[in-house]
Amino acid sequence: MVLVSGDVADDGSVAGYTAAAQRVGRFAQARGIPQVYCPGNHDDRTSFAQVLGSGHLDAGGRDIGHLAGSNGERAAVSEVSGLRVITLDSLVPGHVHGLISDAQLAWLADVLGRPAPAGSVVALHHPPIAVASIPWTASTGLHNAGALGEVLAGRDVRAVLCGHFHAQIVGRLAGVPVSVTPGVVTRMDLTAPPTQWRGVQGAGATVVDLDADGPTFHMLQARDPQAGRPVYLIDVETMADVADEAYDTGGR
């Protein structure tokens, strides 16, 4: 399958979701594979639902997902060749960080109460792991990672797949492998001071292979002669642009 872990449309517009669905849909249809989406902090639930429905579509764009409930959150589940695919909605409107609601956690526990033939994969936008030397990964990630870990522990979840950080990071939550994928437009330069976000040009994606020994993750990087070109430099606390003598930020 192809998984888009958010943000799907940076401006949260219907036009943005339509454009994303068309591009990803062409990729999925050409390969005969499902396409799965979950919302990020820039997404809008109403527009997301209008275009993508549950966020679980087959190769032809038909909605095949089952939503968690009717409260507007876009948590959903579908099954692909015995593999259960669960998307969670970690969006906190107006904020950068993420949370999984109590209602979603209860639903997730109920879904995972029955093992799937090929196990489960859980996807959400905000990573439930952080890098100790980069404080903003904790402050902007999933704020109730412990609660999510309690639900995942001892279940059939083979991997947790996330986005948000625009960097490739791998760790574990309650013993489950967690993979954070780069952004599809820019990536974070993690050599920046820990109080700053330095975004540079460089599209990437992660390929996840599931086999009997567990998941393997490897990153694909776009063949882009402009890769590494600074795009923005932001102070994490104030969200203000920062002038950096060593880099031409080139605006945002």
User: Helix, strand, or coil here: 50?
Assistant: helix
Cα 6 → chain centroid: 5
Strand partners, 197: 234
Instruction: Output the CA torsion 92→52→17→26 (10° steps).
Output: 140
Q: Which tokens hold the place of 163?
A: 């986005």
Q: Put residue 53 in one of left, alpha, beta given phi > 0 → left and psi -120 to 50 → alpha.
A: left
Report mean pLDDT in 10-residue bins for the chain, 252 residues. Answer: 97 97 98 98 97 98 93 95 97 97 97 97 98 94 98 98 97 98 93 92 95 93 92 91 59 42
pLDDT of residue 69: 84
Q: 0.75 cut: is pTM over it?
A: yes
pLDDT of residue 77: 98
Q: Which tokens hold the place of 131?
A: 């890098």
Q: Which tokens hold the place of 31?
A: 């390969």
Q: Which tokens hold the place of 119?
A: 């196990």
Q: Put residue 202 in one of left, alpha, beta given phi > 0 → left and psi -120 to 50 → alpha.
A: left
* 4: nearest Cα among 100, 123, 119, 159: 123
pLDDT of residue 251: 43
pLDDT of residue 212: 87
| Residue 9 near residue 40 (C-beta atoms within 8 A) | no
Contacts of 242 (CB under 8 A, 6+ apart): 196, 233, 234, 235, 249
pLDDT of residue 36: 98
Tell me, what DSSP letter sits at residue 29?
Answer: H
Kind plus residue range of the DSSP H or E element containing 145: helix 145-152
pLDDT of residue 70: 73
